[in-house]
Amino acid sequence: MSLHKDEAIVLSKRAYGESDRIIHLFTLRAGKVSAIAKGAGKSQKRFANTLEPFNHIGVEYFEKYDRGMVRIENADLMSGNSGIETSMKRMCSASFFTEFVDRMTREREPYSGLFLALKEFIGLARSQDPAYPDILHYELKMLDILGYHPNFDTCVFCGTAINDEEKVYFSRERGGILCGACSRSLPHRRWSPGLVQGFLAVKKRETGFETRSLEHEAQELMESFITYHVDLDFKSYKLLKLTVF
């Protein structure tokens, strides 16, 4: 049995028996880790409120050699979730990204960049109500880290550079924009001019979309893209749409 020290974001917590808790962590060095916190529901002194969802913690855990569920030995609060509970927008957006990270990754698959992106977004949600461009920025960032980022730069089929005003054909099946020539023979949908430029601006955190209509199109495009390539139904997303979008 070996002792590990790491940073982690608490993804979720549930009861296990009368006094124990099952904690899902996303750690900086090891990725997603399932852990048991012995006595966490019985004694408030040992872990205090460190194992609550969205907390950023320093954690020590014991791991068996068969790499099953680990046992949390100590946990210290680095950044709490205070502020997230003050609005539904903050709670729903933080819940969406913790579910997104949980369901898009496997156990013990390190993604330090994904950990940092999640920590950064939770920090944002503690201090303000996220708007759609904030959520889209981190969604694109996390998809990029995981290898699913849609291509908004060149024709996804032939690689041709496309002028901004001609970036209107998007193929969810191919995972990106198409030039005019390739759009004649490949499945796609034509979107409004300015949509792709809005995506690129949001990705760079320069600005949002020019109109509310373009923002709605962006939501529709992302939903279609994720449904096709990821094929996961994120339960928290439905509530997120009602509160933020």
Q: Which of 11-20, 41-50, 221-230 has the lowest mean pLDDT?
A: 41-50
**pTM, entire model:** 0.94
The pLDDT assigned to 21 comes to 93
Q: State the burial class of residue 238 (Cβ atoms within 10 Å of its Cβ: 0-12, 13-18, 19+).
A: exposed
CATH class of 2-79: mainly beta
Measured CA to CA, the distance from residue 35 to residue 24 in angstroms comes to: 6
Query: Using H for helix, E for strand and C for coil, what is the string for 5-51?
Result: EEEEEEEEEEEECCCEEEEEEEECCCEEEEEEECCCCCCHHHHCCCC
Residue range 79-99, pLDDT digits in tens: 999 999 999 999 999 999 999
Confidence of residue 43 (pLDDT cuts 50, 70, 90): low
Residue range 47-84, pLDDT digits in tens: 878 999 999 999 999 998 667 899 999 999 999 999 99
- Residue 197 scores a pLDDT above 80: yes
Beta bridge partners of 93: none
Listed by start position, the domains of the chain span 2-79, 84-150+190-243
Confidence of residue 44 (pLDDT cuts 50, 70, 90): low
